[in-house]
Structure 1
Amino acid sequence: MRDRKVKNVVSMAFFAAVTFLGIQVFRIPVPAAVGTPFIHFGHVFVVLGMLLQGGKRGVASGTAGLVIFDLLNGFVQSIPQVFCETIIKCLLVGALFSILKERAKNDRKKEWKAAVLCAVVYAVLNIVIEWIMQTILLLVSGSGFAAAAAASTASIPATVVNAVFMAMIVSILYMPAARAYRKFI
């Protein structure tokens, strides 16, 4: 029992670290009307961590990795939004994957399809929640609804590029990562 707890903590620390490194080390700037977005591997590791560890541990490791990046790179104002978004996405998608994985009944092909579907759902949630949160932030800062919605919509293409990138990479990495993770746990 104790060995299992230690492995879970090590797994969560590992996914938090690679999430942080996936953003810190690999960044490609993307032009946008609002902010300075960039393509990165951070969400790839958040999703892989959530799929492999489960929603709750995925929330902890993903949120930790993203928040550590924000703290160390001057994005402190983004932490509440990142914190809330990551919790919502990981819990919802983690629950969906748990159901789909149970239905797959150790059929690796069905499990992979479930993982890909969940990566796509995470990507769509990321786009929708990002738009809603940006609109709310602009409304709170004094913009009218039309201006806030237009500015949020103008920044969505960068989010879409990042979301598509994440879903593609997760679909490629899920099976090898799942094999390695099963050996560890």
Structure 2
Amino acid sequence: MMKIRFNPFEDRTDRDVRNFLGSAFVGALHKGDPAPVVQAISKLGQKTLPDPAQRYIKARYDQYSGVLTQIFADPLLGADIYAVASLLWDEALFFECHEWLEQNYRAVKGQEKKVLQAMIRTAGTFELLTYDRKRAAVSVAAKALSVLESDFSQVPESFKIQPKMTRLKAVIKNA
């Protein structure tokens, strides 16, 4: 059967491409330099990849370039991990949002860690939905929402959690 679309949940090559690019992008965010993304794109360009993977790489490069330009132009934005996560979310870079927040997960403790995990799950929910993994998305959304409903005041304002919670509720309701 011929593969028609990019799907990192069903294809190992797609998963490797997504993870490699996502890691390079998070590296670029940390360094304040797009070089890791450029290097990753160059390395992937040396491989023979199926058309869906090539289209994904090009689309991600375009998105990454736009986001990095915004972040590098505004030092205050780049200094706020939650504002960066919100920008990634707004650009539908859910996997990268998940990865970005996860990088910061190890550094926090207590209630903040619990809330950050819920935020990571929120991004994960929409990454799952991007690839029609509804059952898993509903499960992850319910876990995220159970924390966020009681602790949403703990979420930094720059993450803009209320609209995301509304979307999580819709995911669960429409299950």
Per the shorter chain, which TM-score range? 0.3 to 0.5
Under a length normalisation based on structure 1, what TM-score does the superposition of the two structures give? 0.38
The structure whose RCO (Cα within 8 Å, separation 6+) is larger is: 1
Under a length normalisation based on structure 2, what TM-score does the superposition of the two structures give? 0.40
| Richer in helix (by share) | 1
